[in-house]
């Protein structure tokens, strides 16, 4: 069993991630990525950018992390971006009420339940404060807005917020971004960057934090015409956990194909199904254990205010790791762990663009050119402003706009002698003659439409944690227990490590320097280490997931095979002797994600060394 504590201890000791600001006591929910963690995170982001920006032909932007209050008033975050909070009456500690319920009952998705029901569950199960064990029964559960508020400018300034998601930075810039896309749908915009949520009770290392990195793709589509290239993913096998299975006491996740799930209506949106298929391949690429992975559909009570349908990619963490040894064969049965959301896939319809258009007054539409001009009838009004002005004063213009809106929505309303419109909540009555209603025949070359949005939103930090934990292995080498990370080479912080066998032989040191230079010139990330025994150096690199170690020994400078080095493969601990002039090219090929060569190709081409090392 890989305990969370073991992963976090290794992460801290080996420079993956650790609590920030430790010199000042630290603040919960903020983490610093160390040298190895920053490298793994950067590799993960590069792999995401390659798949979801470059290969799909999307644009990438970088928007500010602080935005004015008006943005979040329009988006709905001011009113609806809340978590359930319960405060301990004894120690004053605040806790996520839904998390307490999930941790101490059989309820899996308490977040989808209404507040009164969560309060009842706390009473029914006599839930207690995790900090001081005081009873929480009878304490009120309140909605707590998760956004960090700030002030823009000196003094009281302009109210603003740290963005709780990167998406709004894309949506508010849509009027300009559509120009870069030449006003042609569909098009996608990506962004990778920090987001901030004032979590009530941060926990589980980098799984739930207050500052985190998102990688989001917003795909803008014409809902009537644009279809995704489903043929690319229809045969991709996915593990689904639909809402119907979650609501069934005996329900469970099952494996199907994207095409079958869409055909049967399990996945309601072709576009969402398409991105589930694309993401499946990407998760496999970066090293997520697909036996500990599923797509879970949101229950009705969980759906965000903007989402017509939503699925989460979830990984299982805290479960038992792969048994000693190996590259994945012969796994032992695993105990159950916790399922965490690592990505959300949502069909956001036209909610976001419509809201920003309504609040900003700007155009968030795209002009859709018809194949041929169309002759249509349009209802219109031409109000007599000489009458409206004296009667309604400063509201006359708003009344005229309301009359036009009514004409487009309900032209029959003008059959009566008088029509009523609403302006700022007040009913206004206008004589039909004053409105001057008419139906005109016009020829149109196109129309303005508000695109719909499909969004895959990836939580980079949680995927980093997943990749590290899913790569965590233990075995025995030379009768000693070994811990190593079986990271995919593309994700590893370091591509190779170079060791002179001893540090007091200038010939070995010079050759080690030469090999290190060759590898770095080939674009590889290289660690040079001449400290401690060779076994200890191997263990250090194994623990951070370095795929290959290159050792310069005396046989390589004076034996039967001069100008050679040994190359050791991490997972198997096998070694092969390779000429110095070939090392850079051979490792570059083994590390190339587009090249399917395995270490066996090296052992077939060169002499494998019998080290006596055995892995169990």
Domains of the chain: 4-81+146-352+455-460 (3.30.930.10), 368-449 (no CATH), 494-609 (3.40.50.800)
Question: pLDDT tens digits, residue range 37-57?
Answer: 999 999 999 999 999 999 999
Quick check: 321 pLDDT over 50?
no
Residue 136: strand, helix, or coil: coil
Cis preceding linkage at 162, omega within 30: no
Residue 466: strand, helix, or coil: helix
pLDDT value at residue 174: 97
Query: Among 105-114, 218-227, 603-612, which range has the highest average pLDDT?
Result: 218-227
Quick one: angle between helices 270-286 and 35-49, nearest 10? 140
Euclidean distance between CA atoms 96 and 137, whole angstroms: 14
pLDDT band for position 332 (cuts 50, 70, 90)? very low
pLDDT value at residue 59: 98
Residue carrying structure tokens 């040994």: 566
The residue with greater pLDDT, 200 or 520, is 520
Euclidean distance between CA atoms 477 and 474, whole angstroms: 10
Q: Residue 528 CA to chain centroid, in angstroms?
A: 34
The residue with greater pLDDT, 515 or 105, is 515
The DSSP bridge pattern shows strands 418-423 and 426-431 to be antiparallel
The average pLDDT across 215-224 equals 97
Residue carrying structure tokens 């194909």: 257
**DSSP-assigned letter for residue 208:** B
Extract the tokens encoding 308.
């017509």
Q: Of 296-310, 336-350, 428-442, which gets the smallest average pLDDT?
A: 296-310
pLDDT band for position 283 (cuts 50, 70, 90)? very high
DSSP secondary structure letters along 305-345 = TT-SEEEEEEEEESS--BPTTSSSSSPPP----EEEEEEEE
DSSP secondary structure letters along 22-83 = GGGT--TT-EEE-HHHHHHHHHHHHHHHIIIIITTT-EE----SEEEHHHHHHHTHHHH-EE
Which of 595, 599, 558, 561 is closest to 578 using CA atoms?
A: 561
How distant, in Å, are the alpha carbons of 148, 407, 413, 415 from that of 442?
Answer: 50, 16, 22, 22
Average pLDDT, the chain: 90
Euclidean distance between CA atoms 476 and 323, whole angstroms: 11
Question: pLDDT tens digits, residue range 378-417?
Answer: 888 899 998 999 989 889 999 998 998 898 889 899 999 9
The DSSP bridge pattern shows strands 526-528 and 496-500 to be parallel
Euclidean distance between CA atoms 532 and 325, whole angstroms: 25
Question: pLDDT tens digits, residue range 546-588?
Answer: 999 999 998 878 766 678 999 999 999 999 999 999 999 999 9
The residue with greater pLDDT, 351 or 323, is 351
433 Cβ neighbours under 8 A, 6+ residues apart = none
């Amino acid at each position: 069993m890989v305990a969370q504590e073991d992963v976090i201890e290794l992460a801290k000791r080996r420079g993956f991630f650790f609590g920030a600001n430790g010199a000042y006591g630290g603040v919960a929910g903020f983490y610093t990525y160390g040298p190895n963690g920053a490298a793994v995170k950067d590799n993960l982001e590069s792999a995401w950018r390659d798949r979801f920006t470059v290969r799909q032909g999307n644009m990438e932007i970088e928007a500010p992390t602080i935005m004015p209050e008006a943005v979040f008033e329009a988006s709905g975050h001011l009113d609806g971006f809340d978590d359930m909070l319960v405060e301990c009456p004894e120690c004053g500690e605040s806790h996520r009420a839904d998390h307490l319920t999930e941790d101490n009952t059989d309820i899996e998705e308490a977040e989808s339940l209404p507040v009164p029901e969560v309060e009842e569950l706390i009473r029914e199960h006599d839930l207690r404060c995790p900090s001081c064990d005081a009873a929480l029964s009878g304490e009120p559960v309140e909605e707590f807005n998760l956004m960090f508020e700030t002030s823009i400018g000196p003094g009281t300034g302009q109210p603003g917020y740290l963005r709780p998601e990167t998406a709004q930075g894309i949506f508010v810039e849509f009027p300009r971004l559509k120009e870069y896309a030449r006003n042609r749908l569909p098009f996608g915009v990506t962004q990778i960057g920090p987001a901030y949520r004032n979590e009530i009770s941060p926990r589980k290392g980098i799984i739930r934090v207050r500052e985190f990195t998102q990688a989001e793709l917003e795909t803008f589509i014409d809902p009537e015409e644009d279809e995704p290239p489903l043929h690319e993913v229809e045969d991709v096998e996915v593990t689904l956990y639909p809402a119907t299975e979650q609501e069934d006491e005996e329900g469970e996740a099952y494996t199907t194909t994207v095409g079958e799930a869409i055909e049967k209506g399990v996945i309601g949106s072709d576009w969402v199904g398409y991105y589930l298929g694309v993401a499946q391949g990407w998760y496999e690429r970066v090293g997520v254990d697909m036996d500990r992975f599923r797509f879970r559909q949101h229950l009705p009570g969980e759906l965000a205010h903007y989402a017509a349908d939503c699925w989460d990619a979830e990984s299982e963490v805290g479960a038992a790791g792969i048994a000693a040894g190996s590259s994945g064969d012969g796994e032992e049965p695993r105990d159950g762990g916790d399922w965490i959301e690592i990505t959300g896939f949502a069909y956001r319809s036209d909610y976001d663009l419509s809201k920003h258009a309504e609040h900003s007054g700007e155009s968030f539409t795209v002009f859709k050119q018809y194949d041929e001009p169309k002759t249509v009838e349009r209802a219109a009004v031409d109000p007599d402003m000489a009458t409206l002005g004296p009667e309604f004063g400063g509201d006359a213009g708003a009344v005229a706009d309301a009359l036009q809106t009514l004409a487009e929505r309900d032209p029959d309303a003008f059959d009566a002698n008088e029509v009523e419109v609403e302006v700022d909540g007040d009913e206004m009555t206008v004589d039909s003659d004053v409105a001057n209603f008419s139906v005109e025949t016009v020829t149109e070359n196109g129309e303005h439409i508000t695109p719909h949005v499909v969004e895959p939103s990836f939580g980079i930090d949680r995927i980093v944690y997943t990749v590290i934990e899913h790569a965590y292995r233990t075995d025995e080498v030379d009768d000693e227990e070994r811990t190593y990370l079986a990271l995919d080479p593309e994700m590893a912080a370091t591509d190779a490590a170079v060791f002179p066998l001893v540090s007091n032989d200038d010939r070995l040191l010079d050759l080690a320097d030469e090999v290190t230079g060759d590898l770095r010139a080939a674009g590889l990330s290289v660690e040079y280490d001449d400290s401690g025994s060779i076994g200890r150096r191997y263990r250090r690199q194994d623990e951070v997931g370095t795929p290959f170690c290159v050792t310069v020994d005396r046989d390589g400078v004076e034996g039967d095979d001069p100008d050679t080095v040994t190359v050791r493969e991490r997972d198997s601990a096998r070694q092969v002797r390779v000429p110095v002039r070939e090392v850079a090219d051979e490792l570059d090929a083994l590390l190339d994600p587009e090249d399917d060569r395995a270490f066996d190709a090296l052992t077939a081409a060169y002499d494998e060394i019998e080290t006596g090392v055995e892995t169990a």
